A and B are shown apart, each in its own frame.
Chain A
Amino acid sequence: DAGVIQSPRHEVTEMGQEVTLRCKPISGHDYLFWYRQTMMRGLELLIYFNNNVPIDDSGMPEDRFSAKMPNASFSTLKIQPSEPRDSAVYFCASSTRQGAGEQYFGPGTRLTVT
């Protein structure tokens, strides 16, 4: 069975550009999480969805960040406009209701904003 799929794996963009990160969760998982990881701040939860509905977006840093989940098999995280301080690895993870503590992470998108 395929794991969590993220694209692109690497993204280099200039400040001010729009960035869209994509995630396909594991089939049958009804929770989807977006995280950001940096050396300074570690792994931070940005937002999570249950059955495609955003439940907690308190970790979204500011209005430049938005996330959507139009269906059970696809989610996007958009940054517009991007800034150099957004440079990080962005992970998507999914889990089932029964296995709340076991989140399956995708390989991440390494974003560099110059």
Chain B
Amino acid sequence: RKEVEQDPGPFNVPEGATVAFNCTYSNSASQSFFWYRQDCRKEPKLLMSVYSSGNEDGRFTAQLNRASQYISLLIRDSKLSDSATYLCVVNPMDSSYKLIFGSGTRLLVRP
């Protein structure tokens, strides 16, 4: 079983739609969680951290469910520029600076 699993998609949605991605992780001791965004043929970039209480950054909302070991990302009012691959990322233990990346979920926003 992979440490971090994501639906690869693609999710194909119209502009203005709301779309949600989920991700599951296998290590219950994992401490920190993040969403990264990767545009086609570009490097990954941090989108947002995921906090236990859930957090919002503009149109983006991230939530964590420790009991079920899953993380979600909700994008409201999708823009064409949101088209990218979204990587779910887990720090497996507090004492390490290692990040485990999921394979990513591809989002295509159409006009």
Q: Which residues of A contact B (CB under 8 A)?
A: 31, 33, 35, 42-45, 48, 50, 55-56, 91, 95, 97, 100-103, 105-108
Contact = CB atoms under 8 A, between A and B. Distances in A.
Contact of B43 (A50, A100, A101, A107): A107
B99 A45 contact: yes
Query: Which of A44, A45, A103 neighbours the largest number of chain B CB atoms within 10 Å of its CB?
Result: A103
A56 B98 contact: yes
Contact of B98 (A43, A48, A97): A48
A56 B32 CA distance: 19
Contacts of B89: 101
Contacts, number: 46
B103 interface: yes
A41 B63 CA distance: 26
B97 to A, nearest CB: 5
A91 B101 CA distance: 13
Contacts of B45: 105
14 contacts: A42-B101, A42-B103, A43-B101, A45-B98, A45-B99, A48-B98, A56-B96, A56-B98, A100-B91, A101-B34, A101-B89, A102-B34, A105-B44, A107-B43
Interface in B55-111: 87, 89, 91, 96-104
A72 to B, nearest CB: 16
A78 B52 CA distance: 40
Contacts of B101: 35, 42-44
Contacts of A108: 43
A100 B32 contact: yes
Contacts of A33: 99
B20 interface: no
B49 interface: yes
